[in-house]
Amino acid sequence: DINQQLSALIEQTDFDKLYLLTDEHTAKFCLPLLDTFTSTQAFELITIPVGDHVKDLHSISRVWQVLSETGATRHSVMINLGGGMITDLGGFAAASFKRGIRFINIPTSLLGAVDAAVGGKTGINFNGLKNEIGAFAPAFAVLISTEFFITLDKENLLSGYAEMLKHGLLSSADYFDRLLSYDLDSRDFDILLDLLEESVNIKREVVTIDPYEKGIRKALNLGHTAGHAFESYCLQLDKPVLHGYAIAWGLVCELILSHRQTGFPIEYLKQTADFVRENYGPLFITCKQYDELFEYMTHDKKNDAGFINFTLLKGVGDIAINQTASRENIDIMFDIYRDLMRI
């Protein structure tokens, strides 16, 4: 019961003013699920437009402005109700306002629950680059309820599932096989909640060991070097894609690189590529886009001393961080991706 849990949490929180951040979609479809809480608790509602393209300086300035004009203090609390865009932007707005106010994340998308809401990464896009400005700032609390996932279409469910696939590849063959066998059309949320809890715990354990990404937390970047390049490329075309779709394509690319450079088993590469092709479809690219995609990779925050930094796998659960690749191998990676996606 999300209303009961949120009310109990707020009762334990000493605060002077309460804020609730949503976007236009979550205000319409998800805020009503908090009706018991919102009918008994005074709060200031902040609503911004929908889409990752609004995760920018303009939107965060609007949030800061409301906080400032309504007298928020360092004792105030902000609830971020939404997907990854809201928890990323809202977390950064809270972390930077008066050098930090507490915030609570309530992810309303599967992607937000498994990825953005957990782990303390906050940020906004800048200068055409994904999450270019941000800070490590853990939420005061994260409340996850599958009640909100009922409102999701299949595309947004798949977007979050890509991050769960990543966690499966990082953990064990047993968990990864269970993820591949889950029927995404069944919408059995009891089974999904069990898989989700395991996925969140995988990330939480990694973040607890390495909160500031100095070592093993880099494992969570599997699929993201290529994936963020795909995401930035689509954003530049003014044809934005859901984050999880870009990560799914990025996973295929980086498993190809893993197979070539660290011996990742070909059978798991083919299984993953088949699953991604059948559920996410391909991102159509030709060799004409390789230079642009490579350029996006050079701007990745994970890079070190001018080298593009990848997380690769020797096998499922066998992680190799701080890996580099030559330009030739990256081009071959894209070539094989196109073959596996049958472009």
Active site residue 25: no
Pick the catalytic residue from 221, 254, 259, 309. Answer: 221
CA distance 289 to 325: 18
CA 147 from centroid of its chain's CA atoms = 19
Active site residue 80: no
Pick the catalytic residue from 243, 254, 259, 309. Answer: 243
What residues have CB less than 8 Å from 183, skipping those under 6 apart?
none
Active site residue 99: yes
**Measured CA distances, 128 to 232, 234, 240, 301 (Å):** 7, 11, 12, 14
Neighbours of 114 (CB within 10 A): 28
Pick the catalytic residue from 105, 163, 218, 254. Answer: 163
Residue type, 44: E
Active site residue 239: no
CA distance 154 to 337: 24
Residue type, 25: H
CA distance 18 to 156: 29
Pick the catalytic residue from 102, 121, 130, 259. Answer: 121
Pick the catalytic residue from 203, 231, 254, 309. Answer: 203
Pick the catalytic residue from 213, 218, 231, 259. Answer: 213
Pick the catalytic residue from 11, 99, 288, 328. Answer: 99
Contact 104, 141 (CB under 8 A): yes
DSSP state of 307: B
Partners of 128 in beta bridges: none
Catalytic sites, residue numbers: 99, 121, 163, 203, 213, 217, 221, 224, 228, 243
